[in-house]
Amino acid sequence: MLVRLVRYSVLMPHSNFPPRPAALARPSRVAAVLCLLLCLLMLTRPLHAANGERWAGQANTSFKHNMHIDVSSGVCLIQDRQGFLWIGTQAGLVRWDGNRHVKYVADAARDEALPDSYIMSLHIDPQGRLWIGMSSGGLARYDAARDSFVRYRAGADGLRDPRVSAIADDGQGGLWLATGRGLDHLGADGRFSRQRQEDLADLPEGGIDALLREADGTLWIGTRRGLFRLKPNQPAQQIALGGKTGLSITTLFQDSAGRLWIGTRTSGAFGIAAGADTRNAAAVHESGRQPTLPSERVSAIAEVAPGEIWLGTNGANGGIVALDVQAGATHRIRHRADAPDSLPDNDIMAMFRERSGIIFISYMAGISQHDPQPRAITTIRHAESGRGNILSVPSVLVAPDGQLWLSSTSGGIEIIDPYRGLTGRLTTASGLPPGRVLAMMPGPDGEVYIGTQHGLYRADADGRHLHRVAVPTRGDEEEVWALAQAGRTLWVGGLDGLWVLELPPAGTPRLLRHEDQQLGDSRVTALLPVGDEVWVGTRSGLARLGPDKVERIPTDLAAPDRLPPGYVSSLAMDRRGRLWMSNFGTGVVMLERTDADGRRRFRRLGMQQGLPDSGANKLLLDREGMLWASTDAGLARIDPEALTIRALGASDGVQVPTYWTNSGAITAEGELVFGGLSGVSVVRPQALSVSHYAPPVVVTRLLLNDKEIPAAAYNSGLGSKAPPVTVTTAARERGFSLEFAALDYATPERHRYAYQLKGFDPNWVETDASARRASYNNLPPGDYVLQLRGTNRHGDWSAPIEVPVHVLPAWHQQALARLAMGVAALLLGAGLLHARTAYLRRRQRELEGMVQTRTAELRVIQSQLETLAYGDPLTGLANRRLFNDELRHLVAQTERGGAAFTLLLIDLDRFKQINDTLGHDAGDALLVAAAERLRAAVRESDRVFRLGGDEFAVLLHQPLESGTPAAVCTRILANLAAPLGHREAVIEISASVGAALHRQGDSHEQLYKRADIALYHAKAAGRNTWRQADDET
């Protein structure tokens, strides 16, 4: 989560100037100008969230949490030459490939194991070797060829201290080592040496915690008593931090522009410009009125993008301080309990940017990651950045002044400026009625028309004045689901049809037309004016309203070129004048052509064509003519000419998984704004790009004859020249198993994999990320080449890597042995044939009797299995699986002329509170009692189901007692209202019920959704009541 950006000075270079005489103690204009110039020299180009970029102050920073890795208290991170991520923790060293992790811990009984599990530092040298510094185990080098460690101990000819907290190259094949007693050096020859004492005379006694070597050989040394710079052949110099010396240093980092960043234990962070020959570092100042960074511990520093630095802190506020170097602004990224994708912990231990650009963040309980590369989609999670509840936006409007009007499910409208953030809010206090705003539309004179659950309203452009608009002959409290405007004509759609109004410059609108039954379905959901016609989407189909007639478009689910029935959630027109619509259950539908006889021909695009979900909610056309669709599982871009679809997910920056029906708008800048259940997605289509990062494919595990062997040789780039995997005759099962992975950490679960054993497999064998294993047993002797490949995050296949395989022949696979065995087999076969025939005849008679017995037993077992599969073991009710089957069956039966039926969805009120307060046994008792009372409230012909948790469903067969479900719902509420005694407690029970009568043409999903909406209205009405789907009342 990002708090509002506030411009502020970041690097204060005043202390870089020499002292002045007392007479000149007051700052002069010349000094001020010099300060400003020096600041400018220290800055580079702006980062993406700099002040001046649209939506920067509202942008949400999303994190992916890797909870499946056995990592806690990660102290350091690094990536090796092959692409593996190594994580040093206080309890061992972890290697991770994005899917599987391997943990190395200390083992006193094995010399090739780590000597200490507390890892303090990691380093990859120019040869690609991994070095490990430990708290009390000294130094170790990972030997990949043997999957073991080489130890370097403390002692007379070794390290002066067993604590190695930092490692740096010396530029000559050796290493600088920060130890608990000073600076050590390990030469390229493997020998330890000491730096000349006169060069280190100014270094304080005690430990060193941070090292950083620049390209020119300058070594920066961070100690508990200050920062020092050691240039080649020169003595160490102490560097002041903000004019102070002796500050305790925690970390050192150099960014891509050559700037040096210093983190301290109690005094925040400091920076030194690239190439600056200075003995004083400038402080990083935090934006805001009450900055806490100057007194916080900065434990980690990373460069997210050029000019954007993250400071990981432990302190009063904690979290990450994101620094825009050029704009001179910072903002805090912190944990939010209501945002699952927020920073999980405010105490940052380590940060690292791996080679594809992903930022890894380590904290006490695990490791998370952030991908800063997707720039095409910005997520607005809160109306006021970092504050308030998460937005859920059923309707979006781009006002004439460029501000966003966002309706909220909790009621009201938030007005957000792309630069200034939240600028206004319309609530019931402003004149809005209670409930949701369902549609908004700008008027011809700059005003805004607002469709609500309680009528039509009009607001001034700034939202300060708002009043109800009376629609002649229409009830003031009728819901408004859709609005459209052209010139001075306003179309108003609701559950009572379509109303066409003429808008005078002042006064009451004049009714021009009202259509309801002529539309085929009077429940209007979407409107699109085109010339003198209006396309009208309804809850069951489509109609075209002409000047003097209404055309109903026939629906046919079975015919692929006809309009499918279903809820039309939005309408759009492409550049060729073709009508597109989003639909529940089908996806996206295009009106492809109209035949000479007037028959409309449609093209359907659904999940099979690449949509993320069949529930499409809103269509928008971008400036390039591409269609964009929001769905119940992300976004999609549709090429209307090629009819190809690109689904966008988390790796593309989509942080809102589910979107609202017909909630979206286009800004004057060409941005597409989609309203979702957990925020707003602002899409910049021109910025959408495809990552061309090609992750390396590596062997992660190799089992030969059931024994694991090191796999590093097959990741060295030798390919078919690597030593072959030799399968011998020693094992009972002669074979091998190999795991592999594409090292792309963005979305490893989306990768596809394939393997082929040349000489054995005729084709590539494809698999997904959950089965990245090639296994072969009992191969014929010979030489093979196993080829492995994987995809990147966008599905492009990598070039295959090769693993040579050599299978030795067993004794029985020799030519003479095969011939002898063949002759023996013929002789033996002839002798056994007669005995076998007699035996089979006898067995046939015995088996016929056994078959009859087993058949009866199987019938009993099958009946028992069906009971287990379709029953809820706690309540004895039928479960969700049987519910789904019976609901589909009843819908199909009704469509074939059978009797109508009613679906009830029942939720126990405040069940979680009872469960949390009185315990799970009380909750179970409550569920059992509720099941018994529900069975008692309905007829024997009706079915009661437990869907899971505290959710129940009832299928009521017609005829009902009063023609409506009122009596049944009332009886259910009354039965459940009786208190339940449990041990010494008395539990008060109540429930909310949503009812929906099946209508002709309804699918089972549509019926369920209508009942679920009715249930929502029951809960909104205060619980302990029931509501019927409003289209039936």
Residue position matching structure tokens 């050691």: 230
Q: Average pLDDT of 107-124?
A: 96
Pick the range with the lowest mean pLDDT from 103-107, 676-680, 852-856.
852-856
Name the strand (E) or helix (H) holding 826. helix 815-870
CATH architecture of the domain with range 880-1032: 2-Layer Sandwich (3.30)
Say what the pLDDT of residue 963 is. 67
C-alpha–C-alpha distance, residues 153 and 138, integer Å: 5
pLDDT tier for residue 731 given thresholds of 50, 70 and 90: low
DSSP state of 268: -
What are the φ and ψ backbone dihedral angles of 227, each rounded to 5 degrees? Answer: -105, 135
Residues 6+ apart with CB under 8 A from 923: 911, 914, 915
Is the pLDDT score of 368 beyond 60? Answer: yes
C-alpha distances out from residue 575 to 187, 622, 663, Å: 69, 10, 22
Decide: 571 and 580 in contact? Cβ < 8 Å. yes
pLDDT tier for residue 864 given thresholds of 50, 70 and 90: low
pLDDT tier for residue 943 given thresholds of 50, 70 and 90: very high
Say what the pLDDT of residue 50 is. 40
Q: How many residues does the chain have?
A: 1033
Q: Average pLDDT of 765-773?
A: 93
pLDDT tier for residue 463 given thresholds of 50, 70 and 90: confident
Give the residue with greater pLDDT, 429 vs 3: 429
Residue 378: exposure state from Cβ atoms within 10 A (0-12, 13-18, ≥19) = buried
Two tokens, residue 78 = 């690094």
Give the strand order in the sheet containing 377-380: 377-380, 679-683, 672-676, 659-666
Two tokens, residue 579 = 């009508």
Decide: 555 and 540 in contact? Cβ < 8 Å. yes
C-alpha–C-alpha distance, residues 772 and 776, integer Å: 14
pLDDT tier for residue 67 given thresholds of 50, 70 and 90: confident
Decide: 283 and 6 in contact? Cβ < 8 Å. no
Question: Quick count: other Cβ atoms within 10 Å of Cβ 129?
Answer: 15
Name the strand (E) or helix (H) holding 788. strand 782-790
Question: Quick count: other Cβ atoms within 10 Å of Cβ 395?
Answer: 27
Nearest to 386 by CA among 63, 4, 888: 4
Is the pLDDT score of 611 beyond 80? Answer: yes
Say what the pLDDT of residue 1033 is. 47
> What distance, in Å, lies between the first and last C-alpha atoms of the chain?
43
Pick the range with the lowest mean pLDDT from 67-71, 301-305, 319-323, 597-601.
67-71
Decide: 322 and 1 in contact? Cβ < 8 Å. no
**So which residues are the catalytic ones?**
950
Q: What homologous superfamily is domain 566-677 in, according to CATH?
A: YVTN repeat-like/Quinoprotein amine dehydrogenase (2.130.10.10)
Question: Quick count: other Cβ atoms within 10 Å of Cβ 995?
Answer: 27
Nearest to 413 by CA among 394, 398, 426, 400: 426
Nearest to 363 by CA among 60, 747, 86, 89: 89
Say what the pLDDT of residue 811 is. 66
C-alpha–C-alpha distance, residues 315 and 294, integer Å: 10
Say what the pLDDT of residue 163 is. 96
Residue 802: exposure state from Cβ atoms within 10 A (0-12, 13-18, ≥19) = middle
Cross-strand bridge partners of residue 875: none
Is the four-CA dihedral 175, 177, 183, 189 of positive or negative sign?
negative
| Interstrand relation of 219-223 and 226-230 (parallel, antiparallel or unpaired) | antiparallel
Mean pLDDT for the chain?
88
Q: Average pLDDT of 349-365?
A: 94
Say what the pLDDT of residue 1031 is. 57
What are 802-860's pLDDT values in tens digits? 999 999 887 666 667 678 778 888 888 888 888 888 888 888 888 877 877 787 777 77
C-alpha distances out from residue 150 to 106, 128, 131, Å: 13, 15, 9
Say what the pLDDT of residue 727 is. 86
pLDDT tier for residue 52 given thresholds of 50, 70 and 90: low
Say what the pLDDT of residue 962 is. 66
Is the four-CA dihedral 757, 758, 762, 766 of positive or negative sign?
positive
DSSP state of 54: T
Two tokens, residue 406 = 């966002």
Is the four-CA dihedral 764, 767, 773, 775 of positive or negative sign?
negative
824: left (phi over 0), alpha (psi -120 to 50) or beta: alpha
Q: Average pLDDT of 749-775?
A: 93
C-alpha–C-alpha distance, residues 954 and 1031, integer Å: 20
Is the pLDDT score of 883 beyond 80? Answer: yes
Decide: 618 and 663 in contact? Cβ < 8 Å. yes
Say what the pLDDT of residue 618 is. 97
What are 241-282's pLDDT values in tens digits? 999 999 999 999 999 999 999 999 999 999 999 988 788 899
Rg (CA), the chain: 36
Cis before 723? omega within 30: no
CATH 2.60.40.10: which residues of the chain? 697-810
Is the pLDDT score of 46 beyond 50? Answer: no
C-alpha–C-alpha distance, residues 748 and 744, integer Å: 6
Two tokens, residue 193 = 């040496």
DSSP codes, 708-727: EE--GGGGSS-GGGSPPEEE
Is the pLDDT score of 703 beyond 50? Answer: yes
What are 561-582's pLDDT values in tens digits? 999 999 999 999 999 999 999 9
Entry pTM: 0.71
Question: Quick count: other Cβ atoms within 10 Å of Cβ 854?
Answer: 12
What are 173-193's pLDDT values in tens digits? 999 999 999 999 999 999 998
Is the pLDDT score of 37 beyond 50? Answer: no
Give the residue with greater pLDDT, 680 vs 796: 680
Say what the pLDDT of residue 483 is. 97
Q: Average pLDDT of 104-110?
A: 94
Decide: 626 and 616 in contact? Cβ < 8 Å. no
Query: Which residue type sits at 578?
Result: R
Give the residue with greater pLDDT, 485 vs 19: 485
DSSP state of 548: S
What are 186-216's pLDDT values in tens digits? 999 999 987 666 667 678 877 899 999 999 9
C-alpha–C-alpha distance, residues 543 and 541, integer Å: 7
Residue 181: exposure state from Cβ atoms within 10 A (0-12, 13-18, ≥19) = middle
Residues 6+ apart with CB under 8 A from 742: 98, 695, 696, 697, 748, 751, 753, 790, 791, 792, 798
Is the pLDDT score of 4 beyond 50? Answer: no
What are 334-351's pLDDT values in tens digits? 998 888 889 999 999 999
Question: Quick count: other Cβ atoms within 10 Å of Cβ 90?
Answer: 15
Q: Average pLDDT of 892-915?
A: 90
- Domain 697-810 matching CATH 2.60.40.10: the answer reads yes
Residue position matching structure tokens 């490791």: 367
Say what the pLDDT of residue 408 is. 94
Nearest to 790 by CA among 69, 99, 63: 99
Helices within 525-574 (DSSP H only): none
Query: Which residue type sits at 448?
Result: V
CATH 2.130.10.10: which residues of the chain? 566-677
Is the pLDDT score of 330 beyond 70? Answer: yes
Q: Average pLDDT of 987-1011?
A: 92
| % the chain with pLDDT above 90 | 66
Pick the range with the lowest mean pLDDT from 23-27, 707-711, 746-750, 759-763.
23-27
Residues 6+ apart with CB under 8 A from 507: none
Query: Which residue type sits at 306?
Result: P
CATH 3.30.70.270: which residues of the chain? 880-1032
pLDDT tier for residue 732 given thresholds of 50, 70 and 90: low
pLDDT tier for residue 27 given thresholds of 50, 70 and 90: very low
Query: Which residue type sits at 300?
Result: A
